[in-house]
A and B are shown apart, each in its own frame.
Chain A
Amino acid sequence: MKPLLSAPFKTASDGHGVIMDKVMLALTPATAIGLFIFGWPALFLFSITLVSAFGWEALCLRVAGKPVRATLADHSALLTGWLVALSLPPWAPWWIGVLGGFIAIVVGKQVYGGLGQNLFNPAMLARVALLVSFPLEMTAWPIPGTPIGSSLPGLGESWGIFLGQPIADGYTGATSIGYLKTELSRGKLLPAIADEWDYSLWADLAGFLRGGSLGETSAIALLLGGLWLLREKVITWEVPSSLLLTVALLAGAAGILDPMHQPGLWFHLSSGGVVLLAFFIATDYVTSPNSRMGQIVFGAGCGALVFIIRSWGAYPEGVAFAVLLMNSLTPLIDHYIQPRIYGRDFKGHPLELEGKP
């Protein structure tokens, strides 16, 4: 540590660790609700995923000959592990968590050169790789327990689930969007589905109704965390607002045009990982564009892809695929969308003077 030689001699920096800690703090309410309604197996999986991410990061740093302790202190591996855990089915076996941490940290981040170098969002890369490789484990969604938790398995049974014992049928069900997709694919129309379905927007928003990953249960808690991050200036408004607005516009328009098949904007905004995506995934510094305009385009692209994949794709949820596709476009967006430089037009030519003598 040396005093700076060149101006500015003082900086406002709060360091990487503070940023990552704030994001984790913002994720805490949603995570707490998820752990509460999914019980012990969820807590075990959450813990092993974080430990795995942290461990792989330490190993990679050691192998690469980088400072291990100082780099771990930025807490970026913990945050990545946390986001992986939020995107997994809460009762997945332990090795899913370990593998998820490995894919996110080693394949998704360290092989590119570590923090700041990766092209894809590591957590989403892990989720997609696991989903494609282990479709069975990755789509077994437990039904949330009642707020008291009486319907949840006990500690012993939970440990069994964690170690990979098959989950009893009574515990699992579909996510909201998964259920809707299945029913629609059977040729049913929305009014008929709604008749047999105890769907409630508020229960879906709060996260107490249907199965899903930790990150898609309580949209309200995630939204509050996201708004706090905005207030703390950890993230900026461009990506979340353009993303949510695009989903709302497309889903709203589709709901009006095709009410038999399209559930409308509130369903799309509240279900799945849209809120998590808007505030915590798509806002990832490393994998999103760096100009304000670029970020707006990026958010809108994510939102549009989410809607397209959900409506016409093979998977019921498109959040992870959407963000990975847009991640791959980030360098292109950064190349074509750059801020206007003072005294120049957007092409970089000096501004023209009118009436120049």
Chain B
Amino acid sequence: MWKPYLSLMFKPGTIRGGVHPEPRKEATAKEAIETAFPLPPMLYLALQQHVGKPAEPVVRVGDRVLKGQLIAAGQGHVSAPLHAPTSGIVYDIMDYPSAHPSALPTPTILLEPDGLDEWRDGIHEIDPYSLSAEAIGTLVGMAGVVGMGGAAFPSRVKLNLGRQRRIETLIINGGECEPYLTCDDRLMRERSEAIVDGIRIMMRGLECRRSIIGIEDNKSDAIAAIERAVAPWADRIAVAVLPSLYPMGWDRQMIRYLTGLEIPAGGRATDIGVLMHNVGTAYAVQQAIRYQKPLIGRVITIGGGAVERPRNVEAPLGTPLSALLEFCGYRPDRKARLVMGGPMMGEALPHANVPLVKGTSGILALSADEVAATEAKSCIRCSRCVTACPVGLLPLEMMSRIRAGQLEAALKFGLKDCINCGSCAYVCPSEIPLVHYFKYANGELMAQQQAKHKSEQTRKLAEERQARMDRIRQEAAAQAAARKAQALAQAEARKAAKAAQTARSAESQSVEEAT
């Protein structure tokens, strides 16, 4: 045990709030990860697949690139590079619809595969444990690894942050609490050795001695597989079985459950000596370090009632989601809503012609009976949302303030602490889309802040101009005054000189007269 950093310490195992959505994981959990997905005719590699600055292309249209070759470099402190998922020709660099609810076009490299799937040189196995901690962080960054749980935060930044602060515990998130999604479950079952290897590599990179893998108790096969894989390192890596309660995969919920520590508002997990990574990230780190393979593909769950053969597929980045759906027997006629991610927190997509990105954990084509079709009714203050909220907020109070246009009041109720997990809206008997209200309010507040910032800037500029003009005017006035004074002084001097001269001449005259 370590010394608690926190004045307010909770008993490990406490959970606040949470809901039990229907898991609906069976259909995809029983199928092995499909690795024989045929290469699509074109890959669309968005330059922005991560939190931070977009990557900058280092290839030109017409270049031939090899599998694993760098095609766009990370820029600045928080960014991630991008590599070619297969060998082929750079077809174009243009704006293409992005994996975002708006599907707005963003800068994208189009890569036309040549079918050879030819790796670049230098792909060979090394001993990760001969590397220094710094080298591991750098190599993870160079491989373009980001958080695979959906946040897509560059892993290098997180590992470096961890090295700056002393990390007692590395927690690996195998919660996967979202319904439908099973990509982490399958990964843990099928590639447990690699995941544990990745965890050990990260522990070395963080110089941290203890790790806990948290897995929800509805994934018994994954728990068994991981337990087998960690057996040789059981003194340093523990497997924790978590109750299946959404949102257990919320990092702060899992950290409190496992350690009893709460991260102070506005702080990071590293503040309390904890760092969390997703199991998918552990796998990607292992591939990047041991096999020198950059992040060029991922496992994604394709599910929902409008898909005939739902399953997990390992696909190259840039694959159009439509190709993945078609591969799994997509039935557009049955589709009511296309969702990227899980049904609790995922985003609705207007169409599937957007590419797979590093953070995409699932694509769901939900049929009509899987999507709630509702009409919001009046709030009856039943406070089920209060009970369900894992953060400890009062969703009904925030909602009523937002409805009345009192966004500041909603802020006082903790709007900024909301994690948009959707537990409140899930349990609401009035079917009020609470999360919708919160997202709207946060967007509106941001717009207001920007407008305020802009008007402040304008005011500042105007004031500066005024001050400048005043200064110029004053200077001019001062100069004029100085000139006038000078002229006056000169006039005086002239007058005096003249008088003196007259006096002298008079004197000389009188002297002359006298002589």
Contacts and interface: CB of A to CB of B under 8 A. Distances in A.
A292 interface: yes
A350 B265 contact: yes
Contacts of B339: 7, 9
B115 interface: no
B417 A342 contact: yes
Contact of B4 (A7, A348, A354): A354
A339 B267 contact: no
B345 A7 contact: yes
A7 B422 contact: yes
B366 A9 contact: yes
B364 to A, nearest CB: 8
B430 A16 contact: yes
A11 B371 CA distance: 8
A352 B264 contact: yes
B391 A342 contact: yes
Contacts of A139: none
Nearest to B246: A8
A318 to B, nearest CB: 25
Q: On chain A, which size bracket covers the interface? A: 35 or more
Contact of A236 (B343, B387, B392): B387
Contact of A291 (B348, B380, B386): B386
B426 to A, nearest CB: 5
Interface of A: 1-16, 18-19, 74, 76, 114-117, 236, 285-286, 288-292, 295, 334, 338-345, 348, 350-356
A354 B417 contact: no
Given A6-B435, A15-B429, A16-B430, A74 B377 contact: yes
Contacts of A12: 19, 21, 426-427
Nearest to A115: B378
B271 to A, nearest CB: 6
Given A339-B389, A345-B8, A353-B6, 17 more contacts: A1-B373, A2-B373, A5-B348, A6-B439, A10-B21, A13-B431, A74-B377, A115-B377, A285-B381, A290-B383, A290-B394, A291-B386, A295-B383, A342-B390, A342-B391, A351-B264, A351-B265
Contacts of B21: 8, 10, 12
B368 A116 contact: no
6 contacts: A3-B372, A9-B370, A10-B21, A290-B394, A342-B390, A344-B417
A102 B9 CA distance: 53
A41 B193 CA distance: 78
B345 A290 contact: no
A11 B378 CA distance: 16
B97 to A, nearest CB: 18
B436 A353 contact: no
A8 B179 CA distance: 11
Contact of B394 (A15, A291, A350): A291
B8 A4 contact: no
Interface in B237-279: 252, 256, 262-267, 271-272
A9 B305 CA distance: 13
Contact of B414 (A1, A8, A348): A348
A343 B262 contact: yes
B381 A11 contact: no
A1 B373 CA distance: 5
Nearest to A291: B386
Contacts of A116: 378-381, 430
Given A4-B373, A4-B374, A353 B267 contact: yes
Interface string B212-227: 0000000000000000
A80 to B, nearest CB: 12
A262 B428 CA distance: 45
Contact of A341 (B343, B346, B379, B393): B393
Contacts of B387: 236, 292
Interface in B68-87: none
A20 to B, nearest CB: 9
Interface string B371-414: 11111011111110011011111101100000000000000011
A149 B428 CA distance: 45
Interface string B330-342: 0000001101010
A11 B265 contact: no
A11 B425 contact: yes
B7 interface: yes
B3 interface: yes
